[in-house]
Structure 1
Amino acid sequence: MQNFLTTLNMNVSMFGMRFSPSKCKMLLQDWLNSAPQLVIGGETIKCVNRLTYLGSLISPNGLVSDEISARIHKARSALANLRHLWRRRDIRLVTKGRVYCAAVRSVLLYGCETWPLRTEDIRRILEFDHRCLRNIARVCWDNRVSNTWVRNRVLGKYGKAIDEVENLHQLRWLGHVLRMPDHRLPRRAMFSVVGVGWKKARGGQTKTWHQSTKTLTIGLSHVNRCRLPGWGPPMSVTNG
């Protein structure tokens, strides 16, 4: 790895560019017991426990619990910045729901296409979303109304729960990757296999995005053929 960094640093200097060692970080995954020393530009790269890359928080264990905590914190700030809107009574509740989906839910679900969500993670997202919707609708927790009723009141009759929205994002990203050429890195990572001689660690296994996608699409294998209205030959021709 050190030879690779040295060669890369020399090549970029040929084009008048250079690395900033203070902005370079090193994150160890499945290699926590080692302490490698990587140097670039004469300075040692700092080893960190968490790394923020393209707005997403990457953890060494491969889970998204820390990322969800960061997303909830940012979404809570976005919700608080719009508190003057939620308090106004001259704006329809459905309009507030649209603003909530555009300004708060989008922050909460940023990067959710690649999240390997566990049951605990989904529960945390649902709890935060229900709390926000009740705050917008001015419904207290002691009121005996269901979360579905509150969601339909704020988002409308066809408003989706946030876990359904997250599933749609993951399915959309899955279809995007499946349509990629074979040389693209996301597609190669999806269809990659483990190396020869590799063994699973003892104990429970960390949930991966591949496993989440399999669970999400398990029902698609039972979809029967359907006929769209207006497509194909007339029914008289097919029946004849």
Structure 2
Amino acid sequence: MEMNVTGTPSLDDQLKYPKVDRFTYLGSMLHQEGGCANEVNARIQKGWLKWRSITGVMCDKKMPIWLKSKAYKSIVRPVLLYGSETWALDATEETLLQATEMRMIRWSLEYTKLNHMTNDCLRAKMGIQPMADLINENRLKWYGHILRRETSDVNRKVLNMEVPGKRGRGRPRVTWKGQVDKVMMTKKINPNMALTRSRWKKLIKTNPTTVGPYA
């Protein structure tokens, strides 16, 4: 290693970093192949760690369901969905997240699959919306935030950026923008509505199940 006159490593040596195929940046797992598989697995592991840390509440038979619901929504779910605003999930990753959440809910409510309780009924008891709906809401919230920025903002530029090069054969990967457009089409909203923050917030809001929380 070359040393300069001050006895510290030279600039060239300081800029030499080991090459890795994945790393964590701002709490999110980034992989050289792209996609969300590694990030989803990391979120699930951290979500279970957080859930286990409050099992004294979640698995206590004397605790009311409303308290378990509040603990889950304020402590566990934010860990599971951290960074979900930028996720472009495929069907497998979305199913994995939902299955993880339903396992937590079943254990909290002391139900097994032998009880033949549907996921919708269990979510209604906890007063929570489906995981997929909440992820879509987070995406639209971030999308509206970007659209309200100046056109010179780097996020606006990246949003409509086209990557040069020839696309490979086969079905293209799911894109974040494609998923946002699909949800907007379902909700019958358009990007112009995002310019008014209060209106956009109401349009993208996903309410909990209407069966009745804490039933």
2:44 matched to which residue of 1? 72
When the two chains are superposed, the root-mean-square deviation of aligned CA atoms in Å is 2.2
Instruction: Report Cα offsets for 1:31-75 as digits up to 9, x if no partner.
Output: xxxxxxxx8435632110111100000011210011000000000
Residue 210 (structure 1) shift? 1.6
State the alpha-carbon separation in 2 of the partners of residues 215 and 222 from structure 1. 10
1:191 matched to which residue of 2? 160
User: Does residue 211 in structure 1 map to residue 178 in structure 2?
Assistant: yes
Residue 146 (structure 1) shift? 0.6
Q: Is the 8 A contact 2:59 2:109 kept in 1?
A: no
**Larger relative contact order (C-alpha < 8 A, sep ≥ 6)?**
2
Residue 87 (structure 1) shift? 2.9
User: Does residue 168 in structure 1 map to residue 148 in structure 2?
Assistant: no
SS in 2 for 1:51: strand
**Closer, same or farther in 2 for the Cα pair 1:43/1:117, shift >3 Å?**
closer
Query: Among residues 82, 86, 103, which one is paired with 1:131 in the alignment?
Result: 103
State the alpha-carbon separation in 2 of the partners of residues 207 and 182 from structure 1. 25
State the alpha-carbon separation in 2 of the partners of residues 95 and 221 from structure 1. 35
| Aligned partner letter, 1:146 | T
State the alpha-carbon separation in 2 of the partners of residues 190 and 45 from structure 1. 30
Q: How does 1:1-240 map to 2 (within 5 A)?
A: 40-42=12-14, 44-155=16-127, 159-195=128-164, 198-221=165-188
Instruction: Report Cα offsets for 1:122-154 as digits up to 9, x if no partner.
Output: 111110111111011010121111111111112
**Closer, same or farther in 2 for the Cα pair 1:194/1:88, shift >3 Å?**
closer
State the alpha-carbon separation in 1 of the partners of residues 101 and 107 from structure 2. 10
How many residues of Structure 1 are paired with residues of Structure 2 in the alignment?
Answer: 183
**Percent identical:** 25
1:4 matched to which residue of 2? none
Q: Which has the greater radius of gyration?
A: 1
Residue 203 (structure 1) shift? 2.4
Question: TM-score w.r.t. structure 1 length?
Answer: 0.71
**Closer, same or farther in 2 for the Cα pair 1:43/1:49, shift >3 Å?**
same
Residue 99 (structure 1) shift? 0.8
State the alpha-carbon separation in 1 of the partners of residues 49 and 14 from structure 2. 40
Question: TM-score w.r.t. structure 2 length?
Answer: 0.78
Runs of 5+ unmatched residues, structure 1 = 1-17, 22-38, 224-240
Residue 219 (structure 1) shift? 2.5
| Aligned partner letter, 1:175 | G
Q: Is the 8 A contact 2:44 2:80 kept in 1?
A: yes
